[in-house]
Chains A and B, each alone.
Chain A
Amino acid sequence: MTAVVSPPAARPISLGPRTMRALEALVIPLGALIASALLFSVFLILLGKSPATFFSLIWTGGFGSSFSIQNTLQRSAPLILTGLAFAIPARIGLTLIGAEGALVLGGFTAAAVAIPLVTGGIAPVVTLPLMALSAMAVGAVWIGLAGWLRHYRGVNETISSLLLSYIAVAIMNFFVEGLLRDPASANKPSTMPIGDAYRVGSMPGTSVHWGLAAGLVLAVALWILMTRTTFGFAARMTGGNVRAAKAQGLPVGFLVVACCAIAGACAGLAGFYEVAAVHGQANASLVAGYGFTGILVAFLARQNPLAVVPVAIMFGALAASGGLIQRRMGMPDATVLVLQGIIFVVLLVSETFYGRIPFLQARTTGDRT
């Protein structure tokens, strides 16, 4: 008697568990965004402001004209990089919130390295890559240190990375107000300007600096690294279950430090572009909160390097329209912070809905537990 192979039972929806999970990862954050927009509208109404005006101003300020689109993209470049800086260690199970420090220290290093090179008259073709590399190296060491302390010393990485952030800002202040202070910077202590010849230019046909391109390339490269390579698989496995990864003989310590170093390099590169393309020197303007907004970007992107890009652009638009909202609605610049805080809190509340919304679940059994 031969075994009868029965055809698979017909399903009402023929979507596989992977698709359903992807759909869930899209629907729930979107729902969280809508819910936060509603909550923020209530907040605005309580203050006697019009939510309609607010959201239309965000649209105008973020995407309304070619100028505002370029402004948005300009601001989303560091957010892509700092978003990646949170997302990559998150994949290996670490909550690192020190991207701000790596950005500041990377930017400062780039500016400091530039001083002898620029005064020595070394060509920009040599100087700029050296600045970028040193910024990335310093960022990698800084965040890598938090990862190392986590793995080899058992120090909580969330707290240590934030402490390292404060130390980074203090190191920059120490040098910028002292040894490396440019005497010409009277009101706002800064390092020596790198000069227009040494600035990173804009991408052809736009006024957006090359940091955006770097962010896009890195987002794709890191997506490939995390999802299509053995390294990424091992890292995600470690994130899922450290003990199992150790039992399998995976080099957990190396993976942890490497992921952190990649994250730090991303944040350091963001700092390089802030110095070489935006400010032209290192000063307190580097401490602009990009590192902290990057955390929110990565959370909303569900730690997916590709999804970081559109989310970063959305928050770039929010930042770009801040000034317009301030002028037109007479609201303080912290309005954007309140909205970001509400999104963050609602987003975390929305985590509770994964696996609990009936129509978003795959109809196979045993796939999700």
Chain B
Amino acid sequence: MTGADLFIVLIAMVGGAIRVSTPFMFVALGECLTEKSGRINLGHEGNLVLGAMVAYAGSYTTGSPWLGVLMAGCAGLVLGALHGWICKLPKVNDIAVGIAFMSFGTGLAFFFGKPYIQPSAPRLEAIPLGDWTGNSSIAQALQVNPLFFVGIALSVFLWWAFRNMRWGLILRMTGDSAASAKAMGVSVDMVRLLATAAGGFLAGVGGAFLSLYYPGSWNEGLSSGQGLMAVALVIFARWDPVRCVFAALLFGAAGAIGPSLQSIGISQGYYFFNAAPYILTLFIMIASARSKSAAREAPGELSIVK
């Protein structure tokens, strides 16, 4: 591998990380919001796939990709609200409900998505940030989708809101101690329902990015565990929205290794590199599972870290 090749691979990885990380970012922010309220939603994979399908269908029928994004968010919102409602029933396990919603959301998406596999819908436009360099591979890598910036802005807003806004404090209190929330007269179930619904909305938007920007088409193999990896990512980011963005970028870079190497003609081990994000996630989970700082920052009511 020459120096020029290495440069191309690195640039492709940076660009890939930006592209691949966006859905991770949205799902992770949604999951972070949900988990801060003390509940876990493992079903975001379902939201992601359904969101991708709805966004594509919405963009195809209305002609406006941004309307598609909104519709995807609403589909995710409905799934999230259902999840939140079911979890408030006594004796119902939130992890199991998440698994059920993974298959329910995916099933709905495949069912209604059949007619949209062939037609081509208008995509989201990227912002060309690298044209001034005059280098085609840099320009290619710096084609950044506006949703990426929306995600970053949102993460900073959430980070700020968790500390400074009334609802942020209520959300965190509910997540840390349901008993104290009750003592303050806060309806724990309602807070968690709203948090899960809002989290579902964000996961749906993440799905819209998949079908409307990168890879940029709707098919049944579109998502492969991004929704689930985001749950691990939130644990890794220790429930901090800003750290979620960095974790998402790291995951995106891992996911971009295979395609980047392919761009300079190395296709050996492509399938092995496909597994890189999963292996990375697993190692990160092993590393962060017994970490004391993670245990300290975890919402106290969360079933997954108990």
User: Is the Cβ of A299 less than 8 Å from the Cβ of B228?
Assistant: no
Q: Distance (Å) between the CB of A135 and the closest chain B CB?
A: 20
Contacts of A153 in B (CB 8 A): 286, 289-290
Binds B, one of A63-71, A155-163, A270-278: A155-163
A49 to B282, CA, bound (A): 44
Contacts of B232 in A (CB 8 A): 159, 163
CB 8 Å contact bits of B264-287 with A (1 = contact, 0 = none) = 000001011011001101100110
User: Is the Cβ of A158 less than 8 Å from the Cβ of B86?
Assistant: no
- Is A352 part of the binding interface, using a Cβ–Cβ cutoff of 8 Å? yes
Q: Which residue of B lies closest to A335 (CB)?
A: B111
Binds B, one of A77-85, A225-233, A341-349: A341-349
Contacts of B153 in A (CB 8 A): none
- Is B103 part of the binding interface, using a Cβ–Cβ cutoff of 8 Å? yes
| Neighbour of B103 across the interface among A156, A159, A344, CB < 8 A | A344
Most chain B CB within 10 A, of A156, A160, A354, is at A156
User: Is the Cβ of B97 less than 8 Å from the Cβ of A149?
Assistant: no
Contacts of B99 in A (CB 8 A): 95, 97, 158, 295, 344
User: Is the Cβ of B89 less than 8 Å from the Cβ of A163?
Assistant: no
Contacts of A354 in B (CB 8 A): 91
User: Is the Cβ of A158 less than 8 Å from the Cβ of B42?
Assistant: yes
Contacts of B103 in A (CB 8 A): 292, 296, 337, 340-341, 344
- Is B182 part of the binding interface, using a Cβ–Cβ cutoff of 8 Å? no
Contacts of A332 in B (CB 8 A): 110-111, 114
Contacts of B290 in A (CB 8 A): 153-154
> What are 21 sample pairs from A and B whose C-beta atoms fall under 8 A apart?
A97-B99, A153-B286, A156-B235, A156-B285, A156-B304, A158-B99, A163-B232, A170-B272, A170-B278, A174-B272, A292-B103, A295-B99, A334-B111, A337-B106, A340-B103, A341-B100, A341-B104, A341-B107, A344-B99, A348-B93, A352-B92
Q: How large is the interface on A (under 10, 10 to 19, 20 to 34, 35 or more residues)?
A: 35 or more
Contacts of B209 in A (CB 8 A): none
Contacts of B271 in A (CB 8 A): 170, 173-174, 177-178
- Is B146 part of the binding interface, using a Cβ–Cβ cutoff of 8 Å? no
- Is B142 part of the binding interface, using a Cβ–Cβ cutoff of 8 Å? no
Contacts of B114 in A (CB 8 A): 332, 334
Q: Which residue of A lies closest to B88 (CB)?
A: A352
Tell me the interface secondary structure of chain B in the complex. helix
Q: Distance (Å) between the CB of B280 and the closest chain A CB?
A: 10
User: Is the Cβ of B92 less than 8 Å from the Cβ of A344?
Assistant: no
User: Is the Cβ of B110 less than 8 Å from the Cβ of A337?
Assistant: yes
Q: Which residue of A lies closest to B269 (CB)?
A: A174
Q: Which residue numbers of B lie inside 8 Å of A, CB to CB?
A: 42, 82, 86, 89-93, 95-97, 99-101, 103-108, 110-111, 113-114, 224-225, 228-229, 231-232, 235, 269, 271-272, 274-275, 278-279, 281-282, 285-286, 289-290, 304
Q: Distance (Å) between the CB of A273 and the closest chain B CB?
A: 23
A337 to B101, CA, bound (A): 12
A292 to B106, CA, bound (A): 12
Please name 9 further chain A to chain B contacts, defined as beta carbons within 8 Å, in addition to the given A174-B272, A334-B114, sorted by A numbering: A158-B42, A160-B282, A166-B225, A174-B271, A348-B93, A348-B97, A351-B89, A351-B91, A352-B92
A174 to B269, CA, bound (A): 7
A174 to B272, CA, bound (A): 6
- Is A167 part of the binding interface, using a Cβ–Cβ cutoff of 8 Å? yes
User: Is the Cβ of B97 less than 8 Å from the Cβ of A170?
Assistant: no
| Neighbour of B107 across the interface among A95, A155, A171, A340, CB < 8 A | A340
User: Is the Cβ of B100 less than 8 Å from the Cβ of A348?
Assistant: yes
Contacts of A334 in B (CB 8 A): 107, 110-111, 113-114
